[in-house]
Structure 1
Amino acid sequence: MISIDLSGGLVLVTGGAGSIGRAIATQAAQAGASIAVCDTNVEEVEAVAAQIRTNGAVAKSFDMDVTDPVMVKQVIDSAVKELGPLRGLVTAAGVLRTGPLSSQSHEDWKRVMAVNVDGTLHAVQAAIPHLESTHGSIVTLGSVSAFIGSADGGAYTTSKGAVLSLSYAAAGELAPRGIRVNNVAPGWVDGGFTHQALAASDNPEHLRKRASSLHPLGRMASPRDVANAVIWLLSNQAAFITGSMLLVDGGFMIQHNS
């Protein structure tokens, strides 16, 4: 049996306090990487790092606001200095602001773009010189939302479409420098934004059943499902894959492509 081996290098995860970021950091550590877990939620991100250390791996938490390019560079440089050469970057930081485009507030729109799009760019830019020396890999977090319309998700949809295009652009530009760039696009995930929606819903059980029914496999993704795809793309098992978008959607997009 061939197992994924990320030992001998650092994997840095933005949005590491979220359900998907936490799962990615945890599984990268299980594959042997040292982990830099980054987020603005200092308490939660330290809890993630502490749990990884409890399980015998190397991890440190970092306060990182991805909208601040100077801070992002400083954190990535510090993480490499403290934890070793950067092998992988995962951009899992993201925010969701809902509302129809006709009444979308300028502040909410700017916030979604600043975190989801600009934040991805800042992390990629800061990581390039480190990843070039290791021939490392970048995985950006997208969404099936990039391909579909919705009544109140225009800002998020736009941001994820931009992240995908940014990933394609980076893959083409960075391939000659030995850096692979890929995008993972989940469907509904049983965590994070979905849990926020469930908490705000008048009928959470109905919403959960509806979300599950949107996927032909009959359930939402778990954060671990998404992390499995990310870890594989970071690994040498995906050494000849760059500029790809991997759907982790339980068949969601089958219904939109037919």
Structure 2
Amino acid sequence: MQQLADKVIFLTGGSMGIGFECAKAYAVAGAKVVIVASSQGSVEEAAKQLGNEHLGIVCDVSIASEVESAIYQTIEKYGRIDAIHNNAGIATPSKPLHETNDEEWHRLMDVNLKSVLLTTRFGFEALKKSQGCILNTSSLVGEIGQENHAAYTATKGGMNALTKSMALDYAPYKIRVNAVSPAGVWTSMLRKWKEEQDDPASIEKYLDNIHPLGYCPEGDVIADACVFLLSDKARFITGTVLPVSGGAELGYKSVR
């Protein structure tokens, strides 16, 4: 039996990286996937790869009117929303807090956190009807920190706290709220970060070594966990920030 059979999943940042891996996994699990992202080209290509029963919507998730329209289009097409996966996010700039300018700070907050506010605001009634769920893509750095990424880690720490508070607020409506927390995952965003570092050639070895399981994974390992959290198999799990990290948060270890 397909774990997500006939569920309608509204997926932000779903056209590339972890998001597109999730989109593919949701489709294989039987869901109708609505891919929401800001790049028209990548949205069209991702939707084309998934097939005609799925939907791609170009949307800036930090703009209220665009999110409201995307939610409306989803309900207009499918009649329901069973899950909202807030996956859209940016990680740059790579710099300490005092070097972060106002524009960079606000853009990180808008894309990584305000987007959750907006999808919840406009999607709440649909989720209440379906007794659906919300899934947030966080990061291990929201718990343990990361050098030269203060603003980014602040958004992910905020997302972790937000996930738990939302779980309490929406439990009376039988809406579950969880987050998935990767460590390193090879995506276009991570590869961009690698190129911003002083010694890009050493980064791949570093990323392998921070994971006790011995390698930095591709996004499919995150997608598998997300399928579970959105499925009825996780029906009694809410308020959880699930590490999918290869054990990167455990103990002291050398990363050389």
- Amino acid in structure 2 at the alignment position of 1:6: L
Counterpart in the other structure of 1:112 = 108
Counterpart in the other structure of 2:98 = 102
TM-score, normalised via structure 1 length: 0.93
- Amino acid in structure 2 at the alignment position of 1:91: N
- Asked if 1:188 corresponds to 2:192, the answer is no
- Asked if 1:45 corresponds to 2:43, the answer is yes
Provide the C-alpha distance between the structure 2 equivalents of 1:237 and 1:150, rounded to a whole number of angstroms: 33
Gap runs ≥5 in structure 1: none
Counterpart in the other structure of 1:16 = 14
Deviation at 1:18, TM superposition (A): 2.5
Indicate if the aligned counterparts of 1:10 and 1:84 stay in contact, CA closer than 8 A.
no
Counterpart in the other structure of 1:223 = 219
What secondary structure, in the 3-state scheme, does the structure 1 residue paired with 2:60 have? coil
Deviation at 1:74, TM superposition (A): 1.4
What secondary structure, in the 3-state scheme, does the structure 2 residue paired with 1:94 have? coil
Deviation at 1:191, TM superposition (A): 1.0
Indicate if the aligned counterparts of 1:186 and 1:221 stay in contact, CA closer than 8 A.
no
Deviation at 1:240, TM superposition (A): 0.5
Provide the C-alpha distance between the structure 1 equivalents of 2:41 and 2:4, rounded to a whole number of angstroms: 27
Counterpart in the other structure of 1:58 = 53
- Amino acid in structure 2 at the alignment position of 1:115: V
TM-score, normalised via structure 2 length: 0.94
Match of 1:125 among 108, 113, 121: 121
What secondary structure, in the 3-state scheme, does the structure 1 residue paired with 2:84 have? strand
Residues 168 and 213 from structure 1, CA distance in 2 versus in 1: closer, same or farther, beyond 3 angstroms? Answer: same
After superposition, the C-alpha distances for 1:32-85 in whole angstroms (9 at most, x for unaligned) are: 1111000001110111111010xxx62111011111112101111211211342
Match of 1:138 among 134, 137, 140: 134
Moved more, 176-185 or 201-210: 201-210
- Asked if 1:90 corresponds to 2:85, the answer is yes
Provide the C-alpha distance between the structure 1 equivalents of 2:181 and 2:146, rounded to a whole number of angstroms: 17
Provide the C-alpha distance between the structure 1 equivalents of 2:198 and 2:130, rounded to a whole number of angstroms: 50
Provide the C-alpha distance between the structure 2 equivalents of 1:245 and 1:163, rounded to a whole number of angstroms: 10
Match of 2:65 among 55, 70, 94: 70
Identity of aligned residues (%): 29
- For the aligned residue pairs, the C-alpha RMSD in angstroms reads 1.6
Indicate if the aligned counterparts of 1:17 and 1:48 stay in contact, CA closer than 8 A.
yes
Deviation at 1:147, TM superposition (A): 1.4
Provide the C-alpha distance between the structure 1 equivalents of 2:108 and 2:191, rounded to a whole number of angstroms: 19
What secondary structure, in the 3-state scheme, does the structure 2 residue paired with 1:89 have? strand
Indicate if the aligned counterparts of 1:46 and 1:60 stay in contact, CA closer than 8 A.
no
Deviation at 1:256, TM superposition (A): 6.5
Moved more, 131-140 or 143-152: 143-152
Provide the C-alpha distance between the structure 1 equivalents of 2:135 and 2:180, rounded to a whole number of angstroms: 7
After superposition, the C-alpha distances for 1:115-156 in whole angstroms (9 at most, x for unaligned) are: 101011111221111011111111001001111233310000
- Amino acid in structure 1 at the alignment position of 2:20: R
Counterpart in the other structure of 2:149 = 153
Indicate if the aligned counterparts of 2:94 and 2:193 stay in contact, CA closer than 8 A.
no
Provide the C-alpha distance between the structure 2 equivalents of 1:149 and 1:182, rounded to a whole number of angstroms: 20
What secondary structure, in the 3-state scheme, does the structure 2 residue paired with 1:50 have? helix
Aligned residues between the structures? 252
Provide the C-alpha distance between the structure 2 equivalents of 1:201 and 1:117, rounded to a whole number of angstroms: 25
Counterpart in the other structure of 2:167 = 171
What secondary structure, in the 3-state scheme, does the structure 2 residue paired with 1:255 have? coil
Gap runs ≥5 in structure 2: none
What secondary structure, in the 3-state scheme, does the structure 2 residue paired with 1:5 have? coil
- Amino acid in structure 2 at the alignment position of 1:60: L
